[in-house]
Amino acid sequence: MMRRRTIGKAGCSLLMVVLTTLTVALSGCSSDKAGDSANSSNGTEAATDTVASTAESSTTETADDLSKLIVGIPQDIDGLDPHNSTGAGTREVFYNIFEGLVKADENGNLNPAVASEYTISEDSKVYTFTLRDGIKFHDGSLVTVEDIKYSLERNMGVDGSEPLIRAYAQIDSVNIVDDSHVEVVLKDADSDFLTQLTVAIIPAANEHPETTPIGTGPYKYVSNSPQENFIVTRFDDYWGEKAYIKDVVFKIESNMDAIVMDLEGGSIDMMARVTSTQVNQLSDKFQVYEGTMNLVQALYLNNAVKPFDDVRVRQALCYAVDPQQIMDFVSDGAGTEVGSAMFPAFTKYYMPELNDTYNTDTEKAKELLKEAGYPDGFEFTITVPSNYGQHVDTAQVIAEELKEIGVTANIQEIEWNSWVSDVYSGRQYEATVVGIDASTLSASALLSRYVSDAGKNFVNFNSEAYDTAYKNAQSTTDDAEKTKFYKECETILSEEAASVYIQDLPEFVVLNKKFTGYVFYPLYVQNIAKIKPAE
Amino acid sequence: MAKMAKNNIKKFIKDPYLLFGTVIMGMVLLMIIVGCFWMPYEPTKMNAAEKLQGISLKHIMGTDNMGRDVFSRVMYGSRVTLMIAIGTIIIGAGLGTIIGAITGYYGGIIDEVVMRIIDALFAFPSILLALVIVSVFGVGWVQLVVSLGIAFVPSFARIVRGEVLRCKNMDYIENARLIGVSDLRMIFVHILPNIKGVLASSILIGFNNAVLAEAGLSYLGVGSQPPYASLGRMLSDAQQYMFTRPSYVLCPGLVIVLMVLGFAFLGEGIKRWK
């Protein structure tokens, strides 16, 4: 009897404990559900919570999700100092926080930003900028000409250190003319230098730019957690068109395989550069914007090795490779064909007619091979960086296409760092498939590498006509004339078949249908200020 | 004689491990051998019109993201995978047995030095070791086989050494030594044949590991090169289509499972065969 009673007591208290625990746990669950429906199960509680609380405190009771946007980014920010952070992934985020004297727009034009207007002297040596009237930093202070001088000189490395931007070595001096004018004097004439002046203007008074980022952009910095997120909020004193969304979180999505699940679960609202396969898995909750990656994907041929030193062989390959077929296989037909080393986003320089220099013609290709002394074809190796799936796939399609003309292409995958050292720097390769992008908004960023003695000329292209045309383009200041010479360069590349130009790869951006207004830029940036709630 | 053979067959059929192992491996081998002479499609032939198709009569395992026939690629890929596994085992078991036998038989300082080196090799995960070798000597099937082979040496060396130590002190070895049998003859004629049971089953287990290691390395992109297929390579290509076209990832995966299972059953069966 005694014994049974004690068991009963113990059982009873155990039951109580279990029940209490359950109640607590369950109530915790339900309140969670109401609080952040945006959260799926991937350990980002902290990130979402912070936003939720900031959003709640600043908006009225009808706090809806539309006052905040969560953007997935593939890698962490590599520093908060805009001048010392060079990662492309960092630049795309900082575009929203910092501005230079000029700023790129979606059409590839450079518009005045911190400066309200600029003049370039006849000899393209002196650039004079007028400070925008009343423009403020995020901390509320007015931007002064001293800040501009400080920011530019910081990049020049006036204290004797290496210039942070290589092109800044050619700045002779930055002079303050008066309270609202600054002039940048160059050592040598350079009519393209404006493209370098997108560098962030930051306050000279800020002693710790590496921990407290202050800029003039449409969003201001709130906080960041390494490997987790980067949070910004709207800057209400912005000089230009103000942003629509109040709070923006850039959430680091290091696991590319989880993106579809994170989007569907609602823990991110937007993600750039997803693959067509991922797009196919998404539900109709999302709007998919299709743009281009702004790079020139090609089967780059080493013009210095046999048999590619013969222009007829290179042309034969151009005739044999069908870019449209590659696009069909690799990205379901998406992508834009290119016929030379210029991608379509540079509308001013892009020449769509060059796409037709070589229309797929197997007979013609075989004929050219015969003329060049390879009637039975030949064998070569395509070295592809293994981390870029789309380039590996492209190489496979090319290899299949080249079989038609009797040419055997073996594919060798190589790790990215080895690619950079062996193929790009060492030039020890026969052919490779990669995409080449432009570092600044000028045609020379893409075309300078084909000059015979250029350090970046990893295809070993060698043409006197090209060198002359490029030199002419560089030395002229007249824009129309310059464009003409650049176009001549492109035509030479196409006719000489410097490489087998294929396409500008498609870029897919996924945005939750609650939002709208995504715009593609010809640079590696995401302009969040243009995104607005969809009614 | 005939009776003994009959008994053996009876014993064979009664042992489920041996029976299933043989049936499974027979199926896989049949597919590979047929694949050497005939495949429904050319394994690298692309077809844009038939991308990522499901299982049908025309493509019994569907097609991949390039419109290639998955069944043809599986036939070709299992051949590659099996060849790599065999090559790996020949190198790994060969070197491992020699090292194990010598160190076990002689003991002393040789044993100490060689086994410590083997221990050091053991400390590296075999995949990591293979990755290092591949990144130094480049990517290719020969490098892959050699690197996997080397990675497999330590486990074989350990097993053989242990067995040799066990046999070394048995009476018949003592007797042979008294007769004056040479060391070489002692190892290869008297000791090794007596540990063949253990060796055979560890070789079959090694086969499994080699199949999986090849799949793993190809999955990491250092195994066989595109457009040629191996089972691991196919898995790695297929992973992003896991949800849109499950048959693409399931079919090569299933063949890996069958191969591994077949080897495992055979190994177990041989061990139990008395």
Indicate which of B65, B219, B220 best probes the interface with A, i.e. most A CBs within 10 Å of its own CB. Answer: B65
Q: Do B139 and A411 touch (CB under 8 A)?
A: no
Residue A206 confidence (pLDDT): 87
Scanning every residue of chain A, which has its alpha carbon at the shortest distance from the alpha carbon of B221? Answer: A386
Please report which confidence band the pLDDT of residue A66 belongs to, taking 50, 70 and 90 as the band edges.
confident
User: What one-character-per-residue DSSP string does A189-253 give?
Assistant: --TTGGGGTTPPP--TT-S-TTTS----SSEEEEEEETTTEEEEEE-TT-SSSPPS-SEEEEEE-
Mapping DSSP onto H, E and C, the string for A51-100 reads HHHHHHHHCCCCCCHHHEEEEEECCCCCCCCCCCCCCHHHHHHHCCCCCC
Indicate which of B41, B141, B225 best probes the interface with A, i.e. most A CBs within 10 Å of its own CB. Answer: B225
Per-residue pLDDT reduced to its tens digit, A200-211: 999 998 888 888
Per-residue pLDDT reduced to its tens digit, A127-162: 999 999 989 999 999 999 999 999 998 888 777 777
Q: How many helices (H) and strands (E) does chain A have?
A: 14, 21
Angstrom distance (rounded) from CA B152 to CA B205: 11
Give the residue-averaged pLDDT of A462-489: 88
Please report which confidence band the pLDDT of residue B146 belongs to, taking 50, 70 and 90 as the band edges.
confident
Please report which confidence band the pLDDT of residue A432 belongs to, taking 50, 70 and 90 as the band edges.
very high
Instruction: Write down the residue that tokens 């950079």 correspond to.
Output: A420
Residue A290 has pLDDT above 80, yes or no: yes
Q: Do B240 and A400 touch (CB under 8 A)?
A: no
Q: Contact at 8 Å (CB) between A124 and A241?
A: no
Instruction: Write down the residue that tokens 């709130």 correspond to.
Output: A222
Q: Do A393 and B65 touch (CB under 8 A)?
A: yes
Closest Cα of chain A to B48: distance in Å?
6
Give the residue-averaged pLDDT of A450-468: 90
Q: Do B240 and A277 touch (CB under 8 A)?
A: yes
Chain B positions touching A389 (Cβ under 8 A) are 240
Scanning every residue of chain B, which has its alpha carbon at the shortest distance from the alpha carbon of A331? Answer: B65
Using a CB–CB cutoff of 8 Å, tell me whether B52 touches chain A: no
Using a CB–CB cutoff of 8 Å, tell me whether B181 touches chain A: no
Scanning every residue of chain A, which has its alpha carbon at the shortest distance from the alpha carbon of B67? Answer: A329
Percent pLDDT > 90 in chain B is: 12
CATH superfamily of A102-196: Dipeptide-binding Protein; Domain 1 (3.90.76.10)
Closest Cα of chain A to B73: distance in Å?
15
Give the residue-averaged pLDDT of A77-85: 85
When the pLDDT of each residue in chain B is averaged and rounded to a whole number, the result is 84
Residue A63 confidence (pLDDT): 40
Closest Cα of chain A to B19: distance in Å?
41
Give the residue-averaged pLDDT of A326-347: 87
Q: From the list B66, B135, B226, which residue is nearest A329 (CB)?
A: B66
Between B143 and A158, the more confident residue is B143
Residue B127 confidence (pLDDT): 73
Residue A216 confidence (pLDDT): 93
Residue A465 confidence (pLDDT): 92
Closest Cα of chain A to B86: distance in Å?
24
Per-residue pLDDT reduced to its tens digit, B64-112: 888 888 999 999 988 988 888 899 999 999 999 999 998 988 888 988 9
Chain A positions touching B222 (Cβ under 8 A) are 413
- Asked which of A10-14, B27-31, B90-94, B131-135 is least confident by mean pLDDT, the reply is A10-14
Report CA B156 to chain centroid distance, whole Å.
13
Q: Do B225 and A328 touch (CB under 8 A)?
A: no
Please report which confidence band the pLDDT of residue B54 belongs to, taking 50, 70 and 90 as the band edges.
confident
Give the residue-averaged pLDDT of A115-124: 87
Q: Contact at 8 Å (CB) between B68 and B43?
A: yes
Q: Report domain extents, chain A.
A: 39-96+217-292+507-533, 102-196, 294-504
Residue A15 confidence (pLDDT): 58
Residue A6 has pLDDT above 50, yes or no: no
Per-residue pLDDT reduced to its tens digit, A164-173: 877 888 888 8
Q: Do A396 and B227 touch (CB under 8 A)?
A: yes
Q: From the list A257, A278, A413, which residue is nearest B139 (CB)?
A: A413
Residue A316 has pLDDT above 60, yes or no: yes
Residue A33 confidence (pLDDT): 35
Angstrom distance (rounded) from CA A415 to CA A387: 7
Residue A28 has pLDDT above 70, yes or no: no
Interface of B with A in 128-147 (CB under 8 A): 135, 138-139
Residue A35 has pLDDT above 60, yes or no: no
Give the residue-averaged pLDDT of A349-374: 90
- A39-96+217-292+507-533 to CATH, choices 3.40.50.920, 3.40.190.10, 1.10.260.40, 3.40.50.300: 3.40.190.10
From residue B46, how far is each of A100, A530, B243 by CA, in Å?
Answer: 49, 42, 22
Please report which confidence band the pLDDT of residue A21 belongs to, taking 50, 70 and 90 as the band edges.
low
Helix (H, G, I), strand (E, B) or coil at A23: helix
Using a CB–CB cutoff of 8 Å, tell me whether B148 touches chain A: no
Residue B186 confidence (pLDDT): 86
Residue A62 has pLDDT above 50, yes or no: no
Using a CB–CB cutoff of 8 Å, tell me whether A259 touches chain B: no
Within A404-515, where are the H helices? 416-418, 444-447, 464-475, 479-495
Chain B positions touching A428 (Cβ under 8 A) are none
Residue B193 has pLDDT above 90, yes or no: no
Q: From the list B48, B139, B225, which residue is nearest A325 (CB)?
A: B48
Q: Which amino acid is at A186?
A: L
| Residues whose CB is less than 8 angstroms from the CB of residue A402 and which lie 6 or more positions away in sequence, other chains included | A317, A320, A321, A408, A409
Per-residue pLDDT reduced to its tens digit, B209-254: 888 788 777 766 677 777 788 888 888 788 778 878 888 889 988 9
Instruction: Write down the residue that tokens 């048959």 correspond to.
Output: B247
The predicted model scores a pTM of: 0.72
Q: Contact at 8 Å (CB) between A474 and A444?
A: yes
CATH topology of domain A294-504: Dipeptide-binding Protein; domain 3 (3.10.105)
Residue A1 confidence (pLDDT): 41
